[in-house]
Structure 1
Amino acid sequence: MSIFNVFNNQLAQVIQWEQQAPELLWYRFPSSRNEVKNASKLIVAPGQGCVLVYEGKVADVIEEEGIFNLKTDNHPFITTLLNIRKNFESEHKLFVYFFRKADVLNQAWGTATPVKYVDGTYGIPISMGANGNFSYRISDVSKLFKQVIGNKPSFTTVEMKAIISNRIQEAIAAYLASKSYSFQEIDAQLANMAKDIQQQLDKEFLALGLNLLDLKISGTQFDEKTQSRIARVADVTTDVFAAKQAGLDYVDLEKLRALRDAARNEGGLAGAGLQLGAGLELGKKFQEEKEALLNKDGADVVEKLRKLQLLHAEGIITEEEFQAKKKELLANL
């Protein structure tokens, strides 16, 4: 080796993570020879840590901030490294990695595909998306290096977000399958869901070298098919409630609606092959059912008026029928 090359290799070098980008979790210090010069200084800034990977293994983790003189410092591994160097040059290769110690906050997440489960109250299939945010920090850099990063020269918060988001979605799917919340109560349960899912994920992330600081579920979204199912359930629920308030049975109300539609649909009667007499008979049946419903269970005048009001609101009786019947009922008070 020429005198010039020897001199060039032994120039003092500062090893540090300058201009730390906020999206970087892991950064390998660039070195063409993967060796550390004898007079080098290692600078670990606040919010940073340093990993020395020697011959493919994590040899030391420096988590305290400060300046380490690689010629005289007594840090355990640095001392070992100096002892094995020969003629200021080593045949053993060393990689220097920096990692982010500061918390990574408010990382947005969302389900890549809808989470599917069965509504426990109404028994309808639900397809639901969810979104929120999470925060974490590196708790065990050796585990993170072995389980996640490997020999990558850098690793970003975006890459970590993908890993965490996938696990959040899997946890939500398992959680909802066990709870089967109704679509009506799901939004009221978001805080409890987030807390339970975070506890469920804690152990898994500790195994990866991460500490999941918090998990929030901000909102949910239902796909079009689910929204359509929910709308139908809501309509029926509203009808059942209205019928109950009027002292009616929902089945009776639906039967009257069917008779009303059939009596008014001349095309439907013709398509069914019904003759004029059959149509008249249907109309008569419709009138009988209305009267039977009004008088069901010996209803008093006030109850009959409530029922009459609902039949009018549903279009089962006309305005003229409503006014005539109401006048008749009021006359009996």
Structure 2
Amino acid sequence: MSFFRNQFANVVEWEEFRDDMIFYKWKNNEIKRGSKLIIRPGQDAIFFNNGKIEGVFQDEGEYDIESQIVPFLSTLKGFKFGFNSGMRVEVLFVNTKEFNVKWGTRNAINIPALGFPGGMPIRANGTFNFKVNDYIALIDKIAGMRNQYLVEDVRIRITAVLDQLLMKWITREGKDMFNLQSNSFDISKGIKEDLDMQVLADGLTITGFNVMSFNYPKEIQDMITKNASHGMIGNVERYQQISMTDGMASGKMSGGGTASDMAGMMMGMNIANKMMNQQNENQPNSNPLTPQSPQPSQQNASDSQKPNFCPNCGTKTGGGNFCSNCGHKLIAE
């Protein structure tokens, strides 16, 4: 291209673009005649001089600075390039994407809780999102003193205040210390608002904050899990039965040899019988008008009173109530 023939010309661009870089300051602050500006997707180019923004260019493409950029600069629009003179101005490239960052507490946070004199140690992790929203504040607070700014710089700053904010919003309004996950939405919302105030002066905004999980000490977590299991079963005896059945199915209760196999089988039969009896007891006949079938013991008693031969004529009865030969009644009332 023709501008490369001019020994004074240069290209103003963000070289070695990185996704984790929030902004990049063009190093050579003297722009020569014939220079070009290149804006790539996801970038804004900001021209500023002595801390004052001259112009912001957001559309991607390649531009001739003398003819397409200078006429739009606020105080430099009348600048004319001479043969040996260049325009002294700084160019800041800003990454316009929304950044997503993972976070986690560096150490356990001792949250005040009843029964825990030193507090309950809790860890937490999640994600937060942020982006640049105020170029003037960004230049005034950060870009005016630094050539580049990374996502890691923001993550370090955020995690430095997270412990205090987590403690503030976890203990607020007496939240259930053993079921913090159910309150994670309110906790996350409060922390997001506080963090946004922390970075607002730097030209950044927190667009999202999320607590993925709260982690208790192992002993506390085991207790929570056990209580939840009892609550789901609703019956301690049934919980024991299911635990025993699971143990046999998984082989944890199995031994070696026929004796252990028989013991396991008998145990399983006992559990099954007990569960069947409980089920029958819990399902009585609720309709008193429904006729009940005669008990086998009563039927057998009446059958046993019938003689095999008629006491009047000696004919075999055959199980009837009257003799088939003489009509004698076989069962006394």
TM-score under structure 2 normalisation? 0.58
Residue of structure 2 in register with 1:17 after alignment: 14
Cα distance in 2 for partners of 1:108, 1:169 equals 15
Check if 1:126 corresponds to 2:120: yes
1:170: Cα distance to partner?
Answer: 3.0
Q: Quick check: 1:133–1:218 contact (8 Å CA) kept in 2?
A: yes
Cα distance in 1 for partners of 2:77, 2:42 equals 25
1:70: Cα distance to partner?
Answer: 1.4
Pair 119,231 (structure 1): closer, same or farther in 2 beyond 3 Å: farther
1:85: Cα distance to partner?
Answer: 5.1
- Match of residue 73, structure 2, among 66, 77, 99: 77
Residue 39 of structure 1 aligns to a residue in which SS? coil
Q: Which amino acid aligns with 1:104?
A: F
Residue of structure 2 in register with 1:138 after alignment: 132
Residue of structure 2 in register with 1:317 after alignment: none
Cα distance in 2 for partners of 1:86, 1:111 equals 57
Pair 104,235 (structure 1): closer, same or farther in 2 beyond 3 Å: closer
Pair 171,84 (structure 1): closer, same or farther in 2 beyond 3 Å: farther
Check if 1:183 corresponds to 2:177: yes
TM-score under structure 1 normalisation? 0.58
Once the two structures are superposed, the pairs formed by residues 1-333 of structure 1 within 5 Å of their partners are 10-31=7-28, 34-73=29-68, 75-77=71-73, 80=76, 83=79, 87-90=83-86, 93-105=88-100, 107-119=101-113, 122=115, 125-223=119-217
Q: Which amino acid aligns with 2:89?
A: L
Q: Quick check: 1:40–1:69 contact (8 Å CA) kept in 2?
A: yes
Residue of structure 1 in register with 2:246 after alignment: none
1:213: Cα distance to partner?
Answer: 1.7
Moved more, 35-44 or 184-193: 184-193
Pair 98,218 (structure 1): closer, same or farther in 2 beyond 3 Å: same
Cα distance in 2 for partners of 1:58, 1:95 equals 9
Residue 80 of structure 1 aligns to a residue in which SS? coil
Q: Quick check: 1:10–1:38 contact (8 Å CA) kept in 2?
A: no
1:141: Cα distance to partner?
Answer: 2.1
**RMSD between aligned residues:** 3.6
Q: Quick check: 2:121–2:216 contact (8 Å CA) kept in 1?
A: yes
Q: Quick check: 1:131–1:220 contact (8 Å CA) kept in 2?
A: yes
1:178: Cα distance to partner?
Answer: 2.5
Higher helix share goes to which structure? 1
Q: Percent identity, aligned pairs only?
A: 20
1:19: Cα distance to partner?
Answer: 4.1
Q: Which runs of 5+ in 2 are unaligned?
A: 230-235, 237-333
Pair 221,232 (structure 1): closer, same or farther in 2 beyond 3 Å: closer
Cα distance in 2 for partners of 1:198, 1:188 equals 17
Q: Quick check: 1:134–1:216 contact (8 Å CA) kept in 2?
A: yes
Q: Which amino acid aligns with 2:35?
A: S
Pair 213,111 (structure 1): closer, same or farther in 2 beyond 3 Å: same
Residue 179 of structure 2 aligns to a residue in which SS? coil
1:98: Cα distance to partner?
Answer: 0.9
Q: Quick check: 1:114–1:128 contact (8 Å CA) kept in 2?
A: yes
Structure with bigger gyration radius = 2
Q: Which runs of 5+ in 1 are unaligned?
A: 1-6, 239-244, 246-333
Q: Quick check: 2:130–2:208 contact (8 Å CA) kept in 1?
A: yes
Cα distance in 2 for partners of 1:79, 1:232 equals 69
Could you report, residue by residue, the CA deviation over 1:130-185 in whole angstroms, capped at 9, with x for unpaired residues?
Answer: 11011221111221222234421111111121122323333212212324433311
